[in-house]
Amino acid sequence: MSVSNRLCEQAPTFCEEDCETALFRAKWPDGFRCPRCGGLDFYRIVSRGRRLFECSSCARQTSLTAGTILEGTRTPLVKWFQASYLMQTGISAKLLAELIQVTYKTAWLINHKLRYAIQVHDEGRLLAGDLQLLGDFYARPATNRPSDPLTYRDEPAVAGASIDAESGGLAEVKIKRLSARSFNRRTFDVDSFGAFLWRHAVDDRAGYRRIEIVKASGSAGVTELGAVWRGAIRWLARTFGGIGPKHLQAYLDEYCFRMNVKTDGYNTLLSLCGRIGTITQPELVRKRLGVRSVRFTGLKHSAQLSRSLCVS
């Protein structure tokens, strides 16, 4: 039995009311708050078949899903919760569609909206303290479409980790594609890593931070950060048969989210769903998520990075 099938069997059995209660707590962890006046008291009402909350001060009506990642959904909450639970292993939209009995399009949208919540969460967290960095290329596996110019293109990416001061192990990891602007060579140099640090690590103007550039494997075997990088590549290959560049960053962020939250991924994801606004399907399809053109101001950051760099 596959991991995802086993996980599906172990999934808590929710009913729609349980999910409403859980989403209410995720959206309003400190209790109901009116989006217009901040009022704390409400009435539950049903209007045109929709269950709504009406503020007892200003009569503003709001739904449970408004302002959450589930906004506008017509899929039962139970299926969203099952999909969130299954994201602990990370499964394809095809398999998710079978497991929770929705169409492929709905499964794809649910998976990507959950990934979007993860990405917004990730953007707000910067690596801090001593860091390890690893530069490598994600080579999309060859397909049977040799005419596709993207098929054989390698995507440069940097894996970065903050180091736990006590254990010396990895405390938090990120893997980010480098935009074409910040990477136009075949090797990783100070500028490549600087572009990563500029966006994803706490600013260290004083240069106190120790930064170690590591390889995926060395004389002592596979490095810890190398194992994270290789784990991501294996997961993408086994679960999806490889991922094209358009959505690659969303999948990398999903993988790192699991690495970072470890055992509490499900509850953390539910909490994110309740407080992060949604993204529409056209926006998802149009955007190259997580890849923003970063113009790296090389000189200043190169000098800082060179001061704190320790190449092993």
Read off φ and ψ for residue 145, nearest 5 degrees. Answer: -120, 75
Distance CA 153, CA 139 (A): 7
Residue with tokens 């690495």: 259
Q: Which residues bind Zn ion (CB under 5 A)?
A: 34, 36-37, 39, 55, 57-58, 60
Other CB atoms within a 10 A radius of the CB of residue 241 amount to 11
Shortest Å, Cβ 52 to Zn ion = 13
Furthest-apart CA pair in the chain: how many Å? 68
The contacts of residue 71 (CB under 8 Å, 6+ apart) are 65, 277, 278
Shortest Å, Cβ 70 to Zn ion = 22
Distance CA 311, CA 213 (A): 5
Shortest Å, Cβ 33 to Zn ion = 9
List strands edge to edge, sheet with 211-213: 170-177, 154-163, 131-139, 211-213, 309-311
For helices 93-100 and 3-10, the axis angle rounded to 10 degrees is 30
> Which of 27, 140 has the CB closer to Zn ion?
27
> Which of 40, 120 has the CB closer to Zn ion?
40
> Which of 42, 235 has the CB closer to Zn ion?
42
Residue of 177, 174, 126 lying closest to 293 (CA atoms): 177
Shortest Å, Cβ 73 to Zn ion = 24
Shortest Å, Cβ 42 to Zn ion = 8
> Which of 42, 116 has the CB closer to Zn ion?
42
> Which of 42, 296 has the CB closer to Zn ion?
42
> Which of 36, 295 has the CB closer to Zn ion?
36
Shortest Å, Cβ 63 to Zn ion = 14
Distance CA 220, CA 231 (A): 18
The contacts of residue 42 (CB under 8 Å, 6+ apart) are 32, 34, 53, 54, 55, 56
Q: 208 burial class (0-12, 13-18, 19+ CB within 10 angstroms)?
A: exposed
Shortest Å, Cβ 44 to Zn ion = 15
> Which of 55, 158 has the CB closer to Zn ion?
55
Shortest Å, Cβ 69 to Zn ion = 23
> Which of 64, 250 has the CB closer to Zn ion?
64
